[in-house]
Amino acid sequence: MTLLGPVEVRALAEKLGIRPTKKLGQNFVIDGGTVRRIVRVAEVTPEDVVIEIGPGLGSLTLALLPEVARVVAVEIDPALAAQLPLTVAQMDAEHAGRLTVVHADALKVAPDDLRTGPGEVAPAPGGQDRSETPAALPTALVANLPYNVSVPVLLHLLEILPSLRRGLVMVQAEVADRLAAAPGSRIYGVPSLKAAWYADVRRAGPVGRNVFWPAPNVDSGLVSLVRRDPPETSATREEVFAVVDAAFAQRRKTLRAALASWAGTAAAAEEALVRAGVQPSARGEQLGIVDFARIAENRPRP
Positions touching ligand SAM (CB under 6 A) are 24-29, 53-57, 59-60, 74-77, 80, 105-107, 144, 146, 149
149 vs 168, beta carbon nearer ligand SAM: 149
Whether the Cβ atoms of residue 136 and residue 49 lie closer than 8 Å to each other? yes
Phi, psi torsion values for 96, nearest 5 degrees: -60, -30
75 vs 285, beta carbon nearer ligand SAM: 75
24 vs 290, beta carbon nearer ligand SAM: 24
Whether the Cβ atoms of residue 4 and residue 57 lie closer than 8 Å to each other? yes
Q: How far is the CB of 163 from ligand SAM (least distance, A)?
A: 19
34 vs 298, beta carbon nearer ligand SAM: 34
Q: How far is the CB of 301 from ligand SAM (least distance, A)?
A: 38
Q: How far is the CB of 10 from ligand SAM (least distance, A)?
A: 12
Q: How far is the CB of 199 from ligand SAM (least distance, A)?
A: 21
Three-state DSSP class for 28?
Answer: strand
* Omega of the bond leading into 6 within 30 degrees of 0 (cis): no
13 vs 243, beta carbon nearer ligand SAM: 13
Whether the Cβ atoms of residue 57 and residue 17 lie closer than 8 Å to each other? no
Q: Which residue is nearest to ligand SAM (CB)?
A: 54
Alpha helices in the chain (DSSP H): 6-16, 32-42, 59-64, 78-91, 150-160, 173-180, 190-198, 237-249, 255-258, 260-263, 266-275, 289-297
8 vs 271, beta carbon nearer ligand SAM: 8
Report the C-alpha gap between 261 and 246 in whole angstroms. Answer: 8
Q: How far is the CB of 288 from ligand SAM (least distance, A)?
A: 30
Q: How far is the CB of 149 from ligand SAM (least distance, A)?
A: 5
In this structure, which amino acid lies at residue 235? A
